[in-house]
Chains A and B, each alone.
Chain A
Amino acid sequence: MASLDIQGVTKSFGTTKVLHGIDLAIHDGEMVVIVGASGCGKSTLLRIVAGLETATSGAVLIDKVDVTPLEPADRDIAMVFQTYALYPHMSVFDNMAYGLKIRRLPKAEIAARVKEAADLLSIGQLLERKPRQLSGGQRQRVAMGRAIVRHPKLFLFDEPLSNLDAKLRVQMRAEIRRLQKRLRVTSLFVTHDQVEAMTLGDRLVVMHEGRAAQIGTPMEVWARPADTYVASFIGSPAMNFLPATLTEGGHAARLAGGALWRFTDGARPGREGAAITIGIRPEHLMPDAAEGLPVTLELAEPLGSETVLHAHLADGTPITARVPGAAAADTLSLAPDLAALHVFDAATGKRIDPA
């Protein structure tokens, strides 16, 4: 087991800069999830850690040892690929034993390790089969097994669940987390799926256009998003953003529609009338005939225990609410839980906390 330190890693392809200096320290046994939309540089970062890409500048340290100049083979890491990348001409046993044979482990030791991993993943009965005879979920398990038998310092996961169907994905997600906690292997997991990120990670790195927009525990990122990008990316349905101005000496926001929302947690710094963006999650909006904002309902999605309402304000700003029970009438009023407001600078998108 080991720690992983990523220090000021940048990467350019020609003149295009895809990573603008990433710093990240992962403790021994921790699972960190890198999440972001496609093209944000998350896979490139993972491949740099694996040694499959070379960083333009910066360093990667495994267990405080600089591995930046080392080949993937010399880094003592294991990786699970999105396409599984099993060796098609080898049996499941040989797939898992390949890395051990290269390291010249005794035959008995190899067999014992493969058996142990196969039992852990309940694929013991598949060892003689070829990858093409396996289902997607089974291939995924073999790919995991190939990583586990090596007892590596570091697990790298490159969107390993994307090719599975929805049900299997949820199941494998829980299984990966269970395994990781049991084996205590330091892990770096890349995904574009925010639910995977929230459920798998001890900590998240939300990446946006080659930068780490925020690093924190899933709850930190959810409760105090660092900017409007993170706020919109984490949470489903996405957070609502309403244009507003700062007023009452920073104690309240005047919405574009005229409503006044008072902050419950203290004044925000900034001049009177400064343009801000108010963020409010759909679950923090409640129907309230007396105090709410009048909205026009466009679509109600009943999910059984709750209903997602898609509506728009009088000025056309779209707004989404998640309310308990069944849908209400065509027009209704929505009132925020004022303790759950997020305030962002309208120009930079950065979070503004109480002074």
Chain B
Amino acid sequence: MRKKVIFRGVTLPYLLLAPQLLITLVFFFWPAGMAVWQSTLREDAFGLSTEFVAFENFTDLFRDPIYLNAAWNTVVFSSAVTALALGSALFLAVQADKHIRGARVYKTLLIWPYAVAPALAAVLWLFIFHPSIGLVGKALAVIGVEWDFRLNGGQAMTMVIIAAAWKQVSYNFIFFLAGLQSIPTSVLEAAAIDGARPIRRFWTVIFPLLSPTAFFLLVVNLVYAFFDTFGVIHALTRGGPGNATETLIYKVYVDGVQNLNFGSSAAQSVILMVIVIGLTAVQFRFIERRVHY
């Protein structure tokens, strides 16, 4: 039972809520409203006149091959980051859940990357993959791979995917480990006695019991890949070479801050906003119904 505090009158409760509501209004609803309004306007190149164009900014976007390219990049980037971050976190969590020597040190080390700022993480990966000074970059050159992410779009995409996924593995790892530890040992022992070998136990007992956690993380990781990876991309490739690593969120920055095309940039923000609202709605629906059991 939760304790209910009963207030006399409505002034005090509203007063107590006011700071949070104010912050939400000023920093979320106001800019969001501004973005929606701005997305229907178009300014001339010098910012001297503004005209109302209704949905023209949106229709222009969907005809723009550069925008469609960014959308496709986002799909590739997000699914790859999510798959990589979830897969490696699950693998590491399963290993960490076993009774191994030094498990605590190992777990602590795995959690560290989450504390590293995106820009620092990017610099770190830059040093690893740099074609002339990077550890992996030089190694690849030695075995005859022509590695230069500054020229090759596919290689650039691979690098930002690895760097972005690396940042997210820690977060997933903690959730997966907690999920694994909440599975009763006796259930796994029962499966062992029923004749299931470790791999079969994993797929028929452990994984289904982890599915609510996995689904939650899937949505969180997609949101991360969509919206929180600006820093990594900005520090590593700046969307290049060409537009090879330009994702939707990066293009908002390029069009709004660099090209000063406010109308189009605002329209792109609104599209992203709709996507995140959709993802959150899906998440809430499924969290309530739970997955599997």
* Closest beta carbon of chain A to B116's beta carbon, Å: 36
Question: A88-B209, A89-B208, A89-B209 in contact; A81/B189 too (CB < 8 A)?
Answer: yes
Within 8 A of B (CB), among A133-168: 146, 150
Residue of A nearest to B189 (CB): A52
Within 8 A of B (CB), among A57-84: 71-73, 75, 77-79, 81-83
Residues of A near B136 (CB, < 8 A) are none
> Would you call B190 and A81 a contact (CB within 8 A)?
yes
> Would you call A98 and B189 a contact (CB within 8 A)?
no
- Which one, A81, A87, A146, contacts B205 given CB within 8 A? A87
CA of A83 to CA of B197, assembled, Å: 22
Residues of B near A77 (CB, < 8 A) are 193
* Closest beta carbon of chain A to B230's beta carbon, Å: 38
CA of A140 to CA of B184, assembled, Å: 17
Residue of B nearest to A143 (CB): B190
Question: A78-B193, A89-B293, A150-B194 in contact; A98/B209 too (CB < 8 A)?
Answer: no
> Would you call A71 and B194 a contact (CB within 8 A)?
no
> Would you call A79 and B205 a contact (CB within 8 A)?
no
* Closest beta carbon of chain A to B289's beta carbon, Å: 14
> Would you call A102 and B292 a contact (CB within 8 A)?
no
CA of A83 to CA of B190, assembled, Å: 11
Q: Would you call B84 an interface residue if the criterion is a C-beta within 8 Å of the partner chain's C-beta atoms?
A: no
Residues of B near A89 (CB, < 8 A) are 205, 208-209, 292-293
Q: Would you call B278 an interface residue if the criterion is a C-beta within 8 Å of the partner chain's C-beta atoms?
A: no
> Would you call B192 and A98 a contact (CB within 8 A)?
no
Residues of A near B186 (CB, < 8 A) are 81-83, 85
Interface residues on chain A, size class: 20 to 34
CA of A87 to CA of B204, assembled, Å: 10
> Would you call A85 and B204 a contact (CB within 8 A)?
no
Residue of B nearest to A94 (CB): B204
Interface residues on chain B, size class: 10 to 19
Residues 84-113 of A, flagged 1 when their CB comes within 8 A of B and 0 if not, give 011111000000001100110000000000
Q: Would you call B47 an interface residue if the criterion is a C-beta within 8 Å of the partner chain's C-beta atoms?
A: no
Residues of A near B190 (CB, < 8 A) are 79, 81, 85-87, 146
Residue of B nearest to A79 (CB): B193
Residue of B nearest to A158 (CB): B186
Question: A89-B293, A98-B204, A130-B293 in contact; A73/B195 too (CB < 8 A)?
Answer: yes
Q: How many pairs, one residue from A and one from B, have CB atoms within 8 Å of each other in the complex?
A: 64
> Would you call B184 and A72 a contact (CB within 8 A)?
no
Residues of B near A102 (CB, < 8 A) are 194-196, 200
* Closest beta carbon of chain B to A44's beta carbon, Å: 14
Q: Would you call A50 an interface residue if the criterion is a C-beta within 8 Å of the partner chain's C-beta atoms?
A: yes
Residues of B near A82 (CB, < 8 A) are 186
Q: Would you call A132 an interface residue if the criterion is a C-beta within 8 Å of the partner chain's C-beta atoms?
A: yes
> Would you call B193 and A73 a contact (CB within 8 A)?
yes
* Closest beta carbon of chain B to A77's beta carbon, Å: 6
> Would you call B194 and A52 a contact (CB within 8 A)?
no
CA of A71 to CA of B190, assembled, Å: 13
In this complex, which of B184, B189, B197, B205 has the most chain A Cβ atoms within 10 angstroms of its Cβ? Answer: B189
Residue of B nearest to A82 (CB): B186
In this complex, which of B184, B194, B197 has the most chain A Cβ atoms within 10 angstroms of its Cβ? Answer: B194
* Closest beta carbon of chain B to A14's beta carbon, Å: 14
Within 8 A of B (CB), among A5-53: 50-52
> Would you call A85 and B189 a contact (CB within 8 A)?
yes
Residues of B near A51 (CB, < 8 A) are 193
- Which one, A71, A87, A99, contacts B187 given CB within 8 A? A87
Residues of B near A98 (CB, < 8 A) are 191, 194, 196, 204
Residues of chain A having any CB pair with chain B under 8 Å: 50-52, 71-73, 75, 77-79, 81-83, 85-89, 98-99, 102-103, 130, 132, 146, 150
Q: Which 6 A-B pairs give the minimum distances between C-beta atoms?
A: A99-B194, A85-B186, A85-B190, A89-B293, A73-B195, A102-B195
